[in-house]
Structure 1
Amino acid sequence: MRDIHHLVDGSSFTGGSGRFGDVFNPNTGEVQARVQLATEGEVDRAVQSAQAAFEEWSTVNPQRRARVMFEFKRLVEANMNELAELLSSEHGKVIADSKGDIQRGLEVIEFACGIPHVLKGEYTQGAGPGIDVYSMRQPLGVVAGITPFNFPAMIPMWMFGVAIAVGNTFILKPSERDPSVPVRLGELMLEAGAPKGVLNVVHGDKTAVDAILTHPLVRAVSFVGSSDIAHYVYRTGAEHGKRVQAMGGAKNHGIVLPDADMDQVIKDLTGAAYGSAGERCMALPVVVPVGQRTADELRERLVSEIPTLKVGVSTDAEAHYGPVVNAA
């Protein structure tokens, strides 16, 4: 049985909790690996590494930090096929969706490549009688991201890309359902030139989450997941003096107007509702057609279109979507 380890202080770290989570092969339902679940002390070890790295990383000039982002982007693109296959093997989404997952993350890394300009402050002379106003943008310190299973590449890159580029160091606690791609991204960040401790990946459940939310050295936390857990993360983090952004329970809704291009509507709705087996925020579980005629046409077209969709294993190039991540 393959064990998936933490990535702490620039190297693979074997935890000692003795607790593991099962990582399934969604195509068969069989357990393909075990992921280690961190103790509070192991989270602290990662935070201490990030704090030590912050002292140097925060003083590196923005241009040099941006060069690390450029190289990280190049490495992710060079390893796109490997990352997509690894992602599909644990999540179950088809390869094309996995590549889209990675590419959407890279869009934010591209933004982070231009961080020297974004970091510029402002200065206003004469804002009031004898008053000048200026602002500076400075890194906070150790920050953390708690990310969901449905986009194991995109959402971590959305979080750590900008955070690291501006001079913070980062603790990533990815979903224990599909943890291998986040570890691989951490390895590529090291290969791109980030010093050890700048990006640490720690696996875990509520124990690890609570350790992050209550740790005095973690200055800010970003979360994506269910609404109930988002409330918990925001409340607990705020109680411990952290900046928190908690995004929970996102599901888009759609409105179809009478003058809509119905061919495009059907294409968009079937792709949104069934792509990635509906495991994404854009899944559109509710669609509101305006007017009875619009509703009748929409229903008739959808009912005839749905049987043409093909479900298959994640490696099937002809499949529109693969299995859900696990039976639960």
Structure 2
Amino acid sequence: MVRELSHYVGGQRVEGNSGRYSDVFDPCTGQIQARVPLASREEVQNAVAAAEKAQLEWGAMNPQRRGRILLKFVDLVNQNLDELATLLSSEHGKTFADSKGDIQRGIEVVEFAAGAPHLLKGEFSTDAGPGIDIHSLRQPLGVVAGITPFNFPAMIPLWKSGPALAAGNAFILKPSERDPSVPLRLAELYSEAGVPDGVFNVVNGDKEAVDALLEDPRVKAIGFVGSTPIAQYIYATAAANGKRAQCFGGAKNHMVIMPDADLDMAADALIGAGYGSAGERCMAISVAVPVGEDTANRLAGKLQDRIKGLKVGHSLAKDSDFGPVVAPSAKERIEGYIQSGVDQGATLLADGRGLTVEGYDDGFWVGPTLFDHVTKDMKIYQEEIFGPVLSILRAADYDEALRLCSEHEFGNGVAIFTRDGDAARDFASRVEVGMVGINVPIPVPIAYYTFGGWKASGFGDLNQHGADAFRFYTKTKTVTTRWPSGIRQGSSFVMPEGS
């Protein structure tokens, strides 16, 4: 039976009335399991109106009380963790354990955001001038929105909404239409925790909904995660409409393997970081850069051995290392990249095309794929594949490896595996990438640091979560005060001085 999904506006599920729908697949079976409505401009505007009305009371609430509500929400998510993870796996295709990790990394940011009273503190200076005090306030923007991707249907919405709500804003989420059920369930849990009706809303949709959010003057800020072309579009359009924007795009994450590295440790890390979640992660390692021919030859052999033992299977099977990709279009795109690598002369060591899983012949399966002798001019190196495809690009020495990581147009994440502290320190300092791991393959920062890439991977001055989130979701007001002392000084026509 195909489920009929909805929007979530004003504290309740609301049926779509645009007459337009998108199919939600079960990636393991290839069958349509739900239909999600695609909102019209009018439906988006109605959600914005509900958010604008609700924000006044929410923004005036003591931030400590807002924090308590968020902590209650975290407790409800934990109580419903298995249900949420099963739902997430059924629409995305990632394994149950990976889905739980998706949710967990999201609620860690909400937990951090519950410390809003400290993070919203302003500054105070006495005697900034004769009898003058100055203080600053952090105030909510009003209505803000998040446009989030399919690959983390819990984590990214929570990264966006937790700090936004803690800061006193109302939030409109436009999740991916490929896996919208978890965002809708999170909206219900926000309401159950005590978030007032209208403060958190979910509007499903496509470009029409996105443009409606971008053009509505009541929406003061937009957060986005997705592909680079769309990130650029949203960032430029938001700016043209006078909005704040933080937009995160594509990635091509490298891992440098130095000759002194523990190669077994490095190979294990590459297998998990390259093939976990079927490679559908913006922080997945997709390029291995071994330094020296001997390092490259030994690493390639270890990777091939490990790939033979990987189990691709149903997302809810306990022995699956990873599941299917999210949609038939994703499978087609990934297999096109694999053929491109073959056509351009890369050495195909493991081919993930044509994989079938017993009992699930129509699932969107792509097996682990490994290329060697990849070069900089190949499409599989230049573009983000977003699938279980790992490329080996050999570097003659450390300097060449550093240049490869720094010169790529994407600058999201990078890692180096080495026993040499001096090399690691130099690499971390000089590499032109936003997030760096040293013997850590996927360097996603914990909640009280910020997450963000450089170059074509990120647009905007402020990153996700951490203190940057509160800077993004608030506006600063500075107040200069002088109380009458009984001494009249007359009018002044010169610029006041600080002392």
How does the TM-score come out when normalised to structure 1? 0.98
- Return the alpha-carbon distance in structure 1 between the equivalents of residues 68 and 289 of structure 2: 47
- The residue type equivalent to 2:13 in the other structure is S
Cα deviation, 1:266-315, whole Å, max 9, x if unaligned, reads 11110011100000012211111112221111111111111111000111
- Which residue is equivalent to 1:298? 299
Q: Give 1:13 deviation, angstroms.
A: 0.5
- Which residue is equivalent to 2:262? 261
- Return the alpha-carbon distance in structure 1 between the equivalents of residues 292 and 203 of structure 2: 51
Matches within 5 A, 1:1-328: 1-125=2-126, 133-328=134-329
Q: Give 1:193 deviation, angstroms.
A: 0.2
Cα deviation, 1:4-63, whole Å, max 9, x if unaligned, reads 100000111012101000000000111010000000000000000000001110000011
- The residue type equivalent to 1:62 in the other structure is P
More moved, 134-143 vs 79-88: 134-143
Larger radius of gyration: 2
Q: Give 1:191 deviation, angstroms.
A: 0.2
Q: Give 1:135 deviation, angstroms.
A: 2.1
Q: Give 1:130 deviation, angstroms.
A: 7.7
- Return the alpha-carbon distance in structure 2 between the equivalents of residues 91 and 106 of structure 1: 19
Q: Secondary structure at the match of 1:137?
A: strand
Alpha-carbon spacing, 1:290–1:130, altered in 2? closer, same or farther (3 Å): farther
- Return the alpha-carbon distance in structure 2 between the equivalents of residues 131 and 21 of structure 1: 60
More moved, 112-121 vs 122-131: 122-131
Q: Secondary structure at the match of 1:260?
A: coil
- Return the alpha-carbon distance in structure 1 between the equivalents of residues 252 and 215 of structure 2: 29
Alpha-carbon spacing, 1:110–1:251, altered in 2? closer, same or farther (3 Å): farther
Q: Give 1:126 deviation, angstroms.
A: 5.4
Q: Secondary structure at the match of 2:103?
A: helix
Q: Secondary structure at the match of 1:63?
A: helix
- Return the alpha-carbon distance in structure 2 between the equivalents of residues 192 and 60 of structure 1: 15
- Return the alpha-carbon distance in structure 1 between the equivalents of residues 129 and 313 of structure 2: 66
Task: State percent identity of aligned pairs.
Answer: 60
More moved, 256-265 vs 142-151: 256-265
Cα deviation, 1:56-104, whole Å, max 9, x if unaligned, reads 1000001110011110000000000000000000000000000000000
- Return the alpha-carbon distance in structure 2 between the equivalents of residues 251 and 75 of structure 1: 36
Q: Secondary structure at the match of 2:317?
A: coil
- Return the alpha-carbon distance in structure 1 between the equivalents of residues 134 and 101 of structure 2: 43
- The residue type equivalent to 2:323 in the other structure is G
Q: Secondary structure at the match of 2:252?
A: coil
Runs of 5+ unmatched residues, structure 2:
330-499
- Return the alpha-carbon distance in structure 2 between the equivalents of residues 110 and 13 of structure 1: 29
Q: Secondary structure at the match of 2:60?
A: coil
- The residue type equivalent to 1:295 in the other structure is A
Root-mean-square deviation (CA), in Å? 1.3
- Return the alpha-carbon distance in structure 2 between the equivalents of residues 138 and 251 of structure 1: 37
Q: Give 1:250 deviation, angstroms.
A: 2.6
- Which residue is equivalent to 2:482? none
- Which residue is equivalent to 2:444? none
- Return the alpha-carbon distance in structure 2 between the equivalents of residues 125 and 271 of structure 1: 54
Q: Give 1:122 deviation, angstroms.
A: 1.2
Q: Give 1:237 deviation, angstroms.
A: 0.7
- Return the alpha-carbon distance in structure 2 between the equivalents of residues 8 and 267 of structure 1: 45
Q: Give 1:230 deviation, angstroms.
A: 0.3
- The residue type equivalent to 1:166 in the other structure is A
Alpha-carbon spacing, 1:260–1:128, altered in 2? closer, same or farther (3 Å): farther
- Return the alpha-carbon distance in structure 2 between the equivalents of residues 264 and 297 of structure 1: 13
- The residue type equivalent to 2:42 in the other structure is G
Aligned residues, how many? Answer: 328
Q: Give 1:134 deviation, angstroms.
A: 2.8
Q: Secondary structure at the match of 2:246?
A: strand
- Return the alpha-carbon distance in structure 2 between the equivalents of residues 30 and 286 of structure 1: 33
Q: Higher RCO, 1 or 2 (CA under 8 Å, sep at least 6)?
A: 1
- Return the alpha-carbon distance in structure 2 between the equivalents of residues 105 and 251 of structure 1: 23
Alpha-carbon spacing, 1:257–1:128, altered in 2? closer, same or farther (3 Å): farther
- Return the alpha-carbon distance in structure 1 between the equivalents of residues 255 and 134 of structure 2: 44
How does the TM-score come out when normalised to structure 2? 0.64
- Return the alpha-carbon distance in structure 1 between the equivalents of residues 136 and 292 of structure 2: 52
Runs of 5+ unmatched residues, structure 1:
none
Q: Secondary structure at the match of 2:285?
A: coil
- The residue type equivalent to 2:62 in the other structure is N
